[in-house]
Amino acid sequence: DAKTTQPPSMDCAEGRAANLPCNHSTISGNEYVYWYRQIHSQGPQYIIHGLKNNETNEMASLIITEDRKSSTLILPHATLRDTAVYYCIVRVPSGGYQKVTFGTGTKLQVIP
């Protein structure tokens, strides 16, 4: 699995868009980008994933660069409840043994 690099922390004003970057320069052609978040010490929660096209769901948008070496998770209108650690991971969805590893993530603090 490719490694990912994320900034350790970010602040965002409540109501503004939060843009969380992730670098995955060694990603392979068949690896998907997944985003999860962890609120307090709860189990990580799935947010969104994509391969090469931009994706949007009710929680967030995912923008993947054309060369797929980086991506950005966008929370369009951040609320205090979005304060959490956000993890970006890459993995192949099928076949063989897969070490699905998490880095240290980005701690997002939404400020009132």
- Least Å from the CB of residue 15 to another protein: 28
- Least Å from the CB of residue 67 to another protein: 21
Pair type for strands 106-111 and 84-91: antiparallel
Query: Which residues does 106 contact at the CB level (< 8 Å), separation at least 6?
Result: 6, 7, 8, 9, 10, 20, 85, 86
Candidates 43, 58, 66, 67; binder of another protein (CB under 8 A) is 43
Q: Is 32 in the site for another protein (CB under 8 A)?
A: yes
Q: Is 93 in the site for another protein (CB under 8 A)?
A: yes
13, two tokens: 């004003």
52 three-class SS: coil
Site for another protein, rule CB under 8 A: 32, 34, 36, 41-46, 49, 85, 87, 93-105
